[in-house]
Amino acid sequence: MKKVLLVIVIISVSCCLDKGGRGHNVKVMSWNVQNLFDGVDNGVEYSEFSVEKGYWSEELYLKRLKLLSKVILLNNPDIVALQEIESLKVLEDFREKYLKDYKYITSTNSSGAIQLGFMSKYPISRVSYIDPNNKSSKLRYLLEVEFLIGDNKLIVINNHWKSKYGGGSENLRLLSSIALKKRIKELSGQDLLIVGDLNESYNEYQKVNKSYTTALLFNEDGLGITLKNKGSIGFDELYTPWPDSDFSGSYNYRGEWETIDNILINHELYNSDGFSYGSFYVDSRSMLLNNYGTPYRWDVQAQGGFSDHLPVVVLLETSSIKTNWE
């Protein structure tokens, strides 16, 4: 892992801690917001978001910000992990216009068209990235952020792995998985969440009939990350809430639901200190779905919609702090 040269914006905020107070829940949302570009051309945006060609505008950008903010406010998470934002400016605009409680923001700052980002009500104490690349690959970095929540620390790693579009990319997702697995071992003993669009379902290995090694392995060992059910998690494994949930997926491809948007939980989140896993859900409220019951994706031509992914949310519990934000 390398120290990151990322832009981080921290604004001080007052808080009052009562170490002997009642338990405090922390809600974390992860959402791929489907190519959220601002209203200014800078040469990296996808062609369908060109302001110069008349496909995109500041007005449409602000419309998207407002729609997405509405969903975030309805869920009221303490920490929001976003995938497919153009830059830190998008997070700044979210905060300035609609999400003023999210005083702490940070994002990756690569040369690519889309970035990873965080918005948080809690202070950020550390930001770094994980580079999954070998000499011939050009994969997105993984964004690792440490949050201070009372006397506790929570580490969240935001991911956006290589898409399946075009095929032949499993080895690239494996590179991201191997790099993440190494980091998980290094962070053993600390409260850790893995979030993001991994472009792979939790049971991908079974879905391909075990015909090749996948980046995620459910109840299997291998090069990739091993996922297990609650109660059987090793120190270098992760719990996935998907098989124990009532939700079919967060992304729909050709009529089939997929569980590619993930919130994965390490062993430490089950001990008696710090945080513990509470619950998981997919925000599938009606306004986020189209007439076919699938995600109401943003349509550039129709100038409406939200995202082709649904938000996923986890609730963490702790009995050791009470935090009152002014």
Joined together, the tokens standing for residue 148 give: 């201070």
Which phi-psi region, left, alpha or beta, contains residue 76 (left: φ > 0; alpha: ψ -120 to 50)?
left
297 with 250: CB under 8 angstroms?
no
- For 68, the domain range is 2-325
Q: Return the structure tokens found at 290.
A: 């189209």
What is the length of the chain?
A: 326
Tell me how far apart the terminal alpha carbons of the chain are, to the nearest angstrom. 36
What pLDDT does residue 19 have?
33
Whether pLDDT at 4 is above 70: no
287 Ramachandran zone, left/alpha/beta (phi>0; psi -120 to 50)? alpha
Residues 139-197: tens digit of each pLDDT: 999 999 999 999 899 999 999 999 987 666 899 999 999 999 999 999 999 999 999 99
As for how many domains the chain has, the answer is 1
Q: Are 123 and 152 in contact (CB under 8 A)?
A: no
User: Per-residue pLDDT tens for 210-265?
Assistant: 999 999 999 999 999 999 987 778 888 999 999 999 999 999 999 999 999 999 99
Confidence (pLDDT) at 229: 87
pLDDT band at residue 286 under the 50/70/90 scheme:
very high
Mean pLDDT for 266-290 is 90
Q: What is the CATH number of the domain that holds 147?
A: 3.60.10.10
- Closest to 263 measured CA to CA, from 7, 70, 83: 83
Mean pLDDT of 289-302: 96
Q: Residue 283: which pLDDT band, with cuts at 50, 70 and 90?
A: very high
Long-range contacts, 95-99 (Cβ 8 Å, 24+): 95/119, 97/62, 97/65, 97/66, 97/69, 98/65, 98/66, 98/69, 98/73, 99/69, 99/72, 99/73
Query: Which amino acid belongs to residue 182?
Result: K
pLDDT tens for 57-98 read: 999 999 999 999 999 999 999 999 999 999 999 999 999 999
DSSP 161: P
Q: Is the dihedral of CA 141, 84, 295, 101 positive or negative?
A: positive
**Which string of b and e fits 290-300 if b means at least 16 CB within 10 Å?**
eeeebbbbbee
Q: What is the pLDDT of residues 114-132, one digit of tens each?
A: 999 999 999 999 999 999 9
**In 3D, which of 138, 232, 317, 244 has the Cα closest to residue 221?**
232
Per-residue HEC secondary structure of 61-117 comes to HHHHHHHHHHHHHHHCCCEEEEEEECCHHHHHHHHHHCCCCCCEEEECCCCCCCEEE
Tell me what the mean pLDDT of segment 38-46 comes to: 91
- Whole-number pLDDT of residue 30: 99
CA–CA gap between residue 250 and residue 195 (Å, rounded): 13
What confidence score (pLDDT) does residue 272 get?
62
The pLDDT of residue 319: 64
Signed CA dihedral, 124, 236, 173, 68: sign only: negative
Q: What digits encode the pLDDT tens for the residues 296-323?
A: 999 988 999 999 999 999 999 986 554 4
User: Alpha carbon of 28 to those of 3, 9, 31, 150: distances in Å?
Assistant: 24, 19, 10, 16
A 10 A CB-CB count for 135 gives 4
